[in-house]
Chain A
Amino acid sequence: MAWAGKLLRVNLTDGTCKAEPINMDWAGEYLGQRGLATKYLMEEIDPKVDPLAPENKMIMATGPLTGTNASTAGRYSVITKGELTGAIACSNSGGFFGNEMKNAGWDMIIFEGKSPKPVYLLLLDDEAELVDASDFWGKSCWDTEEGIKAKHGDKFIRVASIGEAGEIGVKYACIVNDMDRAAGRSGVGTVMGSKNLKAVAIRGTCGVRVNDPEAFAKAVAAGKEVLAGNPVTNAGLPTYGTQVLLNVINEVGALPTRNHKEVQFEGAADISGEAMHEPRKSDGKPNLVSNAACFACTIACQRVSTIDRTHYTVKERPEYHKASGGLEYEAAWSLGAATGVNDLDALTFANFLCNEHGIDPITFGATLAAAMEMYEDGVLDEATTGMPLKFGSAEALTTMVEKTCKGEGFGVELGLGSRRLCEKYGRPELSMGVKSQEFPAYDGRGIQGIGLAYATSNRGACHLRGYTIASEVLGIPEKTDPLATEGKAGLVKAFQDATAAFDSAGICIFSSFAWTLEDVAPQIDAGCGGGWTAERLLEVGERIWNMERQFNLAAGFTGKDDNLPQRLLKDAAKTGPAKGKVSGLDEMLPEYYQLRGWDADGVPTSETLERFGL
C-alpha cells in the first residue's frame, strides 16, 4: 500500500520518539495528509487550547501518493491550531521534504509538548533522535539548513526549519524546507518555535511501495499525459509560473491594491511574470533564471530568480547575488500591489528575506499595507514607525521586511499581523482578512465566488481552500461569470470538497488545473487498494471539510466569523469590469450553508454529521 503504515510520535517534553501504526480505519475515511492528520489532531487536542501552549500539537503529514512518481506527489502539510488565526491550520509545502519523510518510512510525525531547550529532530530511516540545537538557535532557515547538512556531512538530508521569526513569535512565521518552499500560512512556524523545535532533518532510503505496481504505472502515465496536454500545466505555469496571473487578474479588476482601496494596480506590468523575463539594463539578464520542479512534478512552475546586483538592496550584500526561489504570484501581489510598490528587484529581495528568515509574505505584505494606510491617515506617525511608511515606497518595504523578520523596531508590531496591529491602533476595519488571516491576491468584489470562499475557509482567508478563480477567470472546468453571485455557493462547495481530497492525497493542488478527481482516483486506487473512486474521494473531501468546521466551532468560532471586511461589502470597486460592485456575500452565504447541510448559524445539522460519521 502507498501508506507507509506508521507514524512517529515525538514527545518534546520527555525527549522521546516512538513509532505507532497508522489507524487504517481512519485512513479509509480521511485518506492521509490534511484529512488524516486533522482527524488525529481532533482526537488528541482540545480545540480551545492556546496555540502556543505545550498542549497544542503539531503534525507533519504526507499523503499516500507522496514519494511515488505520480506527478506532483512530493507534498506534505503541517497541521496544528494556528497562532495567527486560532483556527485549524493546515499549511502545505512542496520541495523535497515530504517525499523524504515518506522514503524514511513515515506517513506522519506528531510533535507534542515542549522541549526544555532548543532541539531538532534527526530522522534517518528508523532512527529518530532529538539533537541539541543551540548552535542553530537564532539562525535563519537558510543557515540552519546548510548548517545541519554540514554538521552531519550529508548533502542529501532534507531539512524543514524555522528562522528567527518563528523563535521570537512573529504571528505568521512559516516552516521553510529546501531553502524556498514553505508551509507558509496561519503561523504554523510560530507554533513550532513555541515548542523549542528548530528543525526537522530527514534522510530516507526505505523506498515507497504501491499496492498494484502495474496498474499504478498505467494510472500515473495517464495522469501525466493529461497534464502534458493542458495549456495551463504544459505552457502557462512552466513559462510564467503562478505569475502568469498578475496581468490577467489586474485586467479582470480584482488585483487588490493599496490595502484593497483599489482593485487595479498601475504598476502591475512592472512586477508581472512577463517583466521577470525582460532583460535588465545593468547586465542584460532577466530577473528569472529558470523554472524548477518540486519532487516528481511534471509541471515545474517554480520561479528561480536573481536580484539586479546594482540594486540598492544588494549592492553591498553579495550574499544575495545568488539565485533563489520567487517571485510567485502571491508574493508579487502582497509585497507589490498591496503596498503599491512596483520595483521588481525590491520585491524579489523582500521575498528572499521572507524565505531566509521564515515569514509568510502574504500576511507580511498585507500587514504592511494596513500600516501604510494608517500612516497616510495619520494614525501612525514617524516616531512610531521609525520611517515614512508611504504607499509605493520600496525603501519602506525592504527595511520593514528585515525588521519584522528579526524583531527590530516597528517590525515587532508588524509581526503581529494586520488584525492585531489595526486593533491596537483603533482601526480594526483596516485589517483585510477573515478569521485574522489576511486575504491573498484576489479581490472579492471583482471575483464574487472567491469572496465566499474566503469567508468560509476553515483556515481563515485563503485561495487554496477553494480556488474558484479556476472557473471564474480561467474557465476550468467551465467558465462562470466572475461578477455573478448566482451559482457561486455550489461552485465554492464543489471546489472546497475536491481540494480537501487533493490535499489529502499528497499531490499538488495545481494539478487540478488539468486533473479532476476522475484523474486522481485511479492513481490512489492502484496505489492504496481498497476501491477508491472519484465519488468516494469527494465524500472524503466533504467529510474533512465538516470535521475542520467542527474543530473551529469547538474552538469558539461561529457563523458570524464567516464574514468579510466592510470595505469589500460597502466600498464599491472604483475601476475595471467590477466598477460599482461590492461583494454579494449575503446573497451567497445562506445558500452555501444550505448546500452544506448546516443550519442558519452555520452549524452542521445532526443529519449532516451522521452522514459523514462525525
Chain B
Amino acid sequence: MQQILQINPDDCTGCYQCVLACSNEHGEAFNPMKSRIQVFRFEDEGRYVPYTCTQCDEAWCQKSCPTNAISLDANGAKVVADALCVGCKVCTIACPFGTINYNADTGKVIKCDLCGGDPACVKACPTKAITFVNANTTGFDKMREWAAKTDAGSQKSA
C-alpha cells in the first residue's frame, strides 16, 4: 500500500515543528532553511499552510534529471541519490511546485523522501495537520463529512 502525506491547513498553527523535525531528521540540525517541508504564514488572513513534495507519479524532476539521480523507492517516494546528483538544478526548474531545492552547502538538491516510510514531520505535528495516509483513499474522510451533511439535508426535506 502506498502512503502519502496529507496536509490539512485548517488545523495548522504555523509552529514550524514539522520544519524543524525535517531538517533535523536529514542531518541539518534545526534549520528551517534546510527543511524539505515549509510552512507559509499568510498573516493577513490568519492562515498557515505547510507545503512539500506530493511525490508525483510521473515526476517532472525525475524526467528532467540528466544523470538519473532521482528514483522511486519502495515507499513511493522520489529520492535523490547524492552520488549521482551533479547539482545542475534542472529538476528545480522542471518541478511545477517548487518542492525540490538546491542546497549550496552540499552542491546537491534536496526534496521530501518520506523519511524512508516514517515521516518525521507527521510525528512532530502537534495538531495532526499532517498525516500519513493510504494514497488510494485520501478523499474518504471528506466524503464521509459530506455524506453526513447530505444525509442531514435529505432527512429535513423528507
Query: Taking beta carbons and an 8 Å cutoff, which residues of A are in contact with B?
Result: 67-69, 96, 99, 103, 156, 179, 204-210, 213, 217, 224, 228, 238, 289-298, 300, 304-306, 322-324
- Cα distance A209–B30 in the bound complex, in angstroms: 7
Q: Does chain A have a CB within 8 A of B116?
A: no
Assuming the contacts A298-B15, A300-B15, asked whether A290 and B29 have C-beta atoms less than 8 A apart, the reply is: no
Nearest CB of B to A359, in Å = 20
Contacts of B13 in A (CB 8 A): 238, 290-293, 297, 300
Contacts of B46 in A (CB 8 A): 289-290, 292, 304-306, 323
Q: Does chain A have a CB within 8 A of B45?
A: yes
- Cα distance A361–B43 in the bound complex, in angstroms: 21
Q: Are A208 and B43 in contact (CB under 8 A)?
A: no
Q: Does chain A have a CB within 8 A of B23?
A: yes
The listed residue (A69, A298, A304, A324) touching B30 by CB distance below 8 A is: A69
Contacts of A68 in B (CB 8 A): 20, 30
Assuming the contacts A207-B29, A304-B46, A323-B43, asked whether A292 and B126 have C-beta atoms less than 8 A apart, the reply is: no
The listed residue (B14, B29, B43, B45) touching A179 by CB distance below 8 A is: B43
> A291-B13, A293-B16 are known contacts; what are 5 more A-B pairs with Cβ within 8 Å?
A204-B33, A207-B28, A209-B29, A290-B13, A323-B44
Q: Are B17 and A296 in contact (CB under 8 A)?
A: yes
- Cα distance A68–B32 in the bound complex, in angstroms: 10
Contacts of B28 in A (CB 8 A): 207
Interface centre among B20, B21, B23, B47 (most CB of A within 10 A): B20
- Cα distance A356–B124 in the bound complex, in angstroms: 33
Contacts of A305 in B (CB 8 A): 46
The listed residue (B16, B33, B124) touching A295 by CB distance below 8 A is: B16
- Cα distance A360–B21 in the bound complex, in angstroms: 35
Q: Are B31 and A292 in contact (CB under 8 A)?
A: no
- Cα distance A295–B17 in the bound complex, in angstroms: 8
Contacts of B124 in A (CB 8 A): 69
Q: Which residue of B lies closest to A217 (CB)?
A: B24
Query: Taking beta carbons and an 8 Å cutoff, which residues of B are in contact with A?
Result: 13-17, 20-21, 23-24, 28-34, 41, 43-48, 124, 126-127
Q: Which residue of B lies closest to A203 (CB)?
A: B33
Q: Are B47 and A103 in contact (CB under 8 A)?
A: no
Contacts of A323 in B (CB 8 A): 43-46
Q: Which residue of B lies closest to A228 (CB)?
A: B126
Q: Are A296 and B29 in contact (CB under 8 A)?
A: no
Q: Are A103 and B48 in contact (CB under 8 A)?
A: no
Some 28 contacts from A to B, beta carbons below 8 A apart, are: A68-B30, A69-B17, A69-B21, A69-B24, A103-B30, A103-B31, A103-B32, A103-B33, A205-B33, A207-B23, A207-B28, A207-B29, A207-B30, A208-B29, A208-B31, A209-B29, A209-B30, A213-B24, A289-B46, A290-B46, A290-B47, A292-B13, A292-B41, A292-B46, A293-B13, A293-B16, A304-B43, A323-B43
Interface centre among A238, A293, A294 (most CB of B within 10 A): A293
What total count of A-B pairs have CB within 8 Å?
A: 84
Q: Which residue of A lies closest to B24 (CB)?
A: A69
The listed residue (A208, A228, A289, A296) touching B15 by CB distance below 8 A is: A296
Q: Are B14 and A293 in contact (CB under 8 A)?
A: yes
Contacts of A210 in B (CB 8 A): 29-30
- Cα distance A210–B13 in the bound complex, in angstroms: 25
Contacts of A306 in B (CB 8 A): 46
Nearest CB of A to B25, in Å = 10
The listed residue (B29, B30, B44, B48) touching A292 by CB distance below 8 A is: B48
Q: Which residue of A lies closest to B18 (CB)?
A: A69
- Cα distance A238–B46 in the bound complex, in angstroms: 14
Q: Are B20 and A296 in contact (CB under 8 A)?
A: yes
Contacts of A289 in B (CB 8 A): 45-46
Q: Which residue of B lies closest to A306 (CB)?
A: B46
Nearest CB of A to B20, in Å = 4
Nearest CB of A to B40, in Å = 9
Q: Are A293 and B15 in contact (CB under 8 A)?
A: yes
Q: Are B33 and A298 in contact (CB under 8 A)?
A: no
Sort A-B residue pairs by CB-CB distance and give the 6 closest, nearest first: A207-B31, A293-B15, A289-B46, A304-B46, A300-B13, A207-B29
Contacts of B16 in A (CB 8 A): 96, 293, 295-296
Nearest CB of B to A118, in Å = 26
Contacts of B47 in A (CB 8 A): 290
Q: Are B31 and A205 in contact (CB under 8 A)?
A: yes
Nearest CB of A to B70, in Å = 24
Assuming the contacts A205-B31, A224-B126, asked whether A297 and B15 have C-beta atoms less than 8 A apart, the reply is: yes
Nearest CB of B to A170, in Å = 25
Nearest CB of B to A205, in Å = 4
Nearest CB of B to A299, in Å = 8
Nearest CB of B to A501, in Å = 22
- Cα distance A290–B31 in the bound complex, in angstroms: 26
Nearest CB of B to A219, in Å = 14
Q: Which residue of A lies closest to B38 (CB)?
A: A156
- Cα distance A228–B28 in the bound complex, in angstroms: 27
Q: Are B14 and A208 in contact (CB under 8 A)?
A: no
Q: Which residue of B lies closest to A72 (CB)?
A: B15
Contacts of B45 in A (CB 8 A): 289, 322-323
Q: Which residue of A lies closest to B21 (CB)?
A: A69
- Cα distance A204–B30 in the bound complex, in angstroms: 11
- Cα distance A503–B75 in the bound complex, in angstroms: 43
Q: Which residue of B lies closest to A206 (CB)?
A: B31
Nearest CB of B to A487, in Å = 36
Nearest CB of A to B143, in Å = 26
Nearest CB of B to A546, in Å = 33
Nearest CB of A to B60, in Å = 25
Contacts of A205 in B (CB 8 A): 31, 33-34
Interface centre among B21, B46, B127 (most CB of A within 10 A): B46
- Cα distance A206–B33 in the bound complex, in angstroms: 9
Q: Which residue of A lies closest to B20 (CB)?
A: A69
- Cα distance A279–B17 in the bound complex, in angstroms: 31
Contacts of A207 in B (CB 8 A): 23, 28-31, 34
Contacts of A228 in B (CB 8 A): 126
Nearest CB of B to A295, in Å = 6
Nearest CB of A to B74, in Å = 25
Nearest CB of A to B120, in Å = 10
